[in-house]
Structure 1
């Protein structure tokens, strides 16, 4: 993964903060809050999108409303070499898997998944994870209570 430096000025950072608070904010409302012309704001947001700084817009959905009450983190060890991401791609293709992180330490990957309950967890492990040939071991942590969960990135100016 190639690191790239993108220069962001204070206005860009302010735009990003406002978009994180409310991705549905209108261009006019953004412009008003930052005391800019709507056309200039539209151009700024478009450039942030083109540069890949703004990767997309999404809705935060209550997991209970869609029967996804069980939150689990699964530590996975594989036989993959560090340069091979075949297992990571296979894990990422599983619909219930929300995140796959290549990690340092005893394990290779940390997977976050949302499920309806323990039976779906067992089924996912049996029917999906068991088909990934390089998995050596798995350790599952079940979340009892979530104190904080956020996709917001702290933006320092």
Structure 2
């Protein structure tokens, strides 16, 4: 990856719907050269997919919570984590080092929705207990990291 690839990735991170012609104008290259670079980044797995960002509040999911999940399973066993990750309200599921085995990012309608979800989580075999933090205000949220050129 070079500076042009980095520039292309950062443009696509901010607007994945940009046309190839506009992308080429922005980076100062021929459209065919930019298209080949994007395809190469896709083949190499640098670009995994393109997706629409949905405003959670507009679809009735105004409460965000982060939940630590303590489980009773062997170290490195991810069976419970796979069950947690399959829940539709779970946006992120991370296997962690520390006091809890998993950290989940959840989106639900309200505190009642969170209570119901935590009950469902508690019924999953292997879950010992949970500890949740409710988000009051989000200052930054993105799923795509900024890309910087490496020397």
> In 1, are the aligned partners of 2:122 and 2:128 still within 8 Å (CA)?
no
Task: Tell me the TM-score normalised to structure 2 length.
Answer: 0.93
Aligned counterparts of 2:76 and 2:144: Cα–Cα separation in 1: 30
Report the equivalent of 1:31.
24
Q: 33, 55, 73: which one pairs with 2:48?
A: 55
Work out which structure has the larger RCO, using CA pairs closer than 8 Å and 6 or more positions apart in sequence.
2
User: Equivalent residue for 1:70?
Assistant: 63
Scaled by the length of structure 1, the TM-score of the pair is: 0.89
Of stretches 46-55 and 147-156 in structure 1, the one that deviates more from structure 2 is 147-156
Q: Gapped runs of 5+ residues in structure 2?
A: none
CA distance in 1 between partners of 2:51 and 2:23 (Å): 18
RMSD of equivalent CA atoms = 1.2
Cα distance in 1 for residues equivalent to 2:147 and 2:73: 35
In the alignment of these two chains, the number of paired residues is: 149
For the residues of structure 1 that align with 2:139 and 2:27, how far apart are their CA atoms?
Answer: 32
Unaligned runs of 5+ in 1: 1-7
**How far apart in 2 are the matches of 1:155 and 1:93?**
29
Equivalent residue, structure 2, for 1:132: 124
